[in-house]
A and B are shown apart, each in its own frame.
Chain A
Amino acid sequence: MDTSVEISVEINGVPVTRSAPAEALLIDFLRDDMGLRSVKLSCDMEICGACTVLVDGLPMSSCTTLAADVDGAKVTTVEGLITDGVLDPLQQAFIDHGAVQCGFCTPGFILAAKALLLRNPSPTRAEIVSALDGNICRCTGYSKIVEAVRHAASA
């Protein structure tokens, strides 16, 4: 239990090297060690997507990923989508289309959508649905989230 491992990871563009317990979860590493509170803990069993982060551009549930397993990777949270104070088009679209209510699932949705647009800049509705079906939102009813992603993709 006391075994620590050294983790070198690029978080939101900044290289970080830290020692962490081998069993440390990525979500705790990001929230507690790195202060990235946008990474949200909800179901804690990889079914709701609230804790989604990008690892080398792919969406992963940080609640069920060991911090040690992202050694050498690039990790992105919504804080890292902001460039020189300017929101990513997806973040802006989520605001403009009312795709946010309580906001607890929002970072996970934005990152899952970001992963989609990185590999498919012009997704169909079906492709958006497929990419975001692993994220649960209990507030919005989803339609405005689809609108936001479609708008960001066409922007």
Chain B
Amino acid sequence: MRPDLLEKVSGQAEFISDVSIDGMAFGKIVRSTEPHARIIGMDISLAEQANGVVCVLTGDDSDLLTQTDWGLFYEDRPVIARDRVRYVGEPVAVVVADTQAHAEAASRLVVVNYEPLPICATAEQALAGDAPLLHEDFRPISDFYFKGTARGKAGTNVFQDYLLERGDVDSAERSAHRIYEHSYSFPGIAHFAMEPHCAIARFDHAGLTVWSGAQSPTAVQKVLARVFGLPIARVRIIVPYVGGGFGGKASVKIEPLVAAAARKAGRPVKVLLSAEESMLTCRRLASNITIRTAIDADGAILSRTGDIVMDGGAYADTGPAVALKSAHRLVGPYRLPNLRIRARAVYTNTVPGAAFRSIGGPQAVWATESHMDEIAAELGEDPVDFRSRHLLQRGDAVIENLRPLDVDPAAMMDAAVEATTKGHNRASRGLALAVTDPGILPVAGAIVRVHADGSVEVRSMSVEIGQGVRGVLQRIVAATLSQQPEVVHILDPDTASAPYDWGTGASRSSMIMGLAVEKAAGDAVSKLLALASEAFEVETSAISLAPGGLEIGGRSVSFRDLFHAAHGIDSGDVTGQASITPRSLDGKLAQAPLFWETAAAACTVSVDPDTGVVALDTYAGVADIGRALNRSAAEGQEEGAAVQGLGHALFENLVFDEGQPMTAMPLLYRVPRLSDIPADWTTVLIENGDGLGPMGAKGMGEGGILGMAPAIANALARDHGVRLRDLPMTPERIWTALSSRKPHAS
């Protein structure tokens, strides 16, 4: 059983928003109301005099900071706006007070005078030749958190320009029988984690300690060390349970600002965002994708081009990686002899884009899988048959130099089709497939410590964010040590006690941290055997582990007895530790990706012709995960991802009108609810034990989000005769499409 669940159902689980630190004050952020403006004046005097106020942090406090700007690809983001704001919601001041209520009241007394600047409201405007520049100065940093360097162009708003190419597309198009081209749009999406962003920062004799709901604690640690001029060893990050993230709490978010407020206040400061503020903190990158496919006279695909333009918002954050991955994820599990995909991400005066479950994946798969069905329809061919003729097989290359495909797409497609065939008309089904290359760095460490009483502590930086990583690590450590799971305790991630780990995201923790704790537990086993061999003067080959201790030549010895014999007192411990690097497993982890995260989705829908309201009637999702380390949690990852995909498909849209967020509050932003979920829902997990992770597991958790939107669009096209190319597929858009349908269409 997952050790976190009992705490969570009984109300004992401590989330970051529940954490309280002695002497802490509360910070409320004052945010820009302008999408792009110079700050020409700020009056904080009333706020400073207000009841309970400790201090007000503003852009004039740069002397508190060793480095005023930070980022992961570019150091483009000020800790706090100095003389300029670039999006509505950008922090311009933090009012710190003795209570949350006092901080909120005083925050309303801060007066900011802005001089508006011309804005880039959309990606198209940002790409125009005469567009105002959001950042005059590009300072890319390489291999900082992600591998590589972003390819932005100084003097433009383009902060990533990536090209994926093979073969000769131009020749292929010249020889083509038919060429099909379509464009698809995908809006900005809010992560909408149930727990908004929250962090607590404290400076003391030991340095800086930050409690945060962070998915990438070591990235937070590294950035804070730079911002405050501290050694990494003096920056400590602690992560309790996190109330959902989905990428929105990955990399670094509010921590530098909260720490700056604490430095100015001279006491610990907690900042808990409201749900609206979280929606103004980060979002999925919106995209416009034009995709073109050349077909020969036999209906075989000759080439594909893609032109991806992503709206990255005011600061790059992880956007360069999102754009790069969107290019990879546009390819699909198909034989495409010639390929040219360009992915650009641009700055706009909107909320910064960021990682979101399968970065760039849903945007790309929405385009490529809608496009596949559109071609099949043009060819008069069943979409399953059209895909079948082009499907890659296990061992084929999706993209040159990447790991060959480690799944069988045909088997996945068949499973999705089979699950939605019962009682349904085959012609009504919508289908979508996807392959994605998780951007996983195989870099992680773990410590497994066996105590004299038989309890085992596991120190790792993997964050329990709902995926059940603590249960998986517990299972692996218990199995490796031959102990009962209940004696294995997974500690809260704390950089002061756990080794470096790249972060919790990209479907990596069960696999990579799983390997790390397996190896660390193995190290503990070796040390226990060596200790027992010395203490009892027995060959290690005659010793084995058993629940509660060891078996030595048929005799049971408790851990307490072992330490008593070894140390003279019945106390002590054995510490196993291990690192996973690209050289681990004889170098098998060196090639990217560590596995292909794949998806097959199929569904049927019904539409109310009078209102355009669409209902999902049947859904099946298929994932090849190697091995389920916790079946119920694995199914839950798959189902939860698919329902987030349902939000992308039908409801969710962070609308910006001339830079003003129009829907960035829970009241105006519709996420899927229980009544949107059909009873007829099938989750298929394919387990061949062929992953590189513990027990043959691959990573998982992102694939389920990929197929939903195109599957629904394809079902709408086949069963209702309307082709939607813009998300979300709102009742208005569907009704309008139904109304403009040709009368004879069905």
Interface residues of A (CB under 8 A from B): 36-38, 40-45, 47-48, 50, 77-79, 82, 87, 91-92, 94-95, 97-98, 100-107, 110, 125, 128-130, 132-133, 135-146
Contact = CB atoms under 8 A, between A and B. Distances in A.
A133 B673 contact: yes
A139 B9 contact: no
Interface string B494-530: 0000000000000000000000000000000000000
A50 B675 contact: no
Interface in B340-357: none
Given A40-B195, A101-B637, 6 more contacts: A95-B9, A101-B244, A104-B243, A136-B194, A143-B681, A144-B635
Contact of A37 (B11, B466, B635, B644): B11
B434 interface: no
B193 interface: yes
A113 B468 CA distance: 23
Nearest to B7: A103
A76 to B, nearest CB: 11
A68 to B, nearest CB: 17
Contacts of A47: 666-667
Contacts of B674: 128-129, 132-133, 135, 142, 145-146
Interface of B: 1-2, 4-15, 17-18, 192-196, 241-244, 246, 274-275, 465-468, 632-633, 635-637, 639-644, 665-667, 671-675, 677, 679, 681
Contacts of A78: 9-11
A37 B643 contact: no
B466 A103 contact: yes
Contacts of A37: 11, 14, 18
8 contacts: A36-B11, A42-B195, A95-B5, A104-B243, A105-B194, A107-B9, A136-B194, A145-B674
Given A42-B195, A47-B666, A139 B8 contact: no
Nearest to B468: A101
A48 B639 contact: no
Contact of B194 (A40, A82, A87, A144): A40
A127 to B, nearest CB: 12
Contact of A102 (B7, B194, B666, B673): B194
Specify which of A101, A142, A143 lies most central, judged by the most chain B CB atoms within 10 Å of its CB: A101
Contacts of A36: 11
B643 A103 contact: no
A88 to B, nearest CB: 9
A59 B274 CA distance: 23
Specify which of B5, B6, B468, B675 lies most central, judged by the most chain A CB atoms within 10 Å of its CB: B5
Given A101-B467, A103-B241, A79 B194 contact: no
Contacts of B666: 42-43, 45, 47-48
B334 to A, nearest CB: 28
A102 B667 contact: no
B639 A144 contact: yes
A77 B12 CA distance: 12
A129 B673 CA distance: 9
A47 B194 CA distance: 12
Nearest to A91: B9
Nearest to A104: B243
Nearest to B678: A143
A150 to B, nearest CB: 11
Contact of A139 (B6, B640, B677, B681): B640
Contacts of B15: 40, 103-104
B14 A139 contact: no
Contacts of B466: 100-103, 139
Nearest to A137: B194
Given A45-B667, A104-B195, A133 B274 contact: no
A100 B9 contact: yes
Contacts of A43: 275, 666-667
Contacts of B465: 102
A128 B665 CA distance: 27
Contacts of A139: 194, 244, 466, 636, 640
Nearest to B15: A104
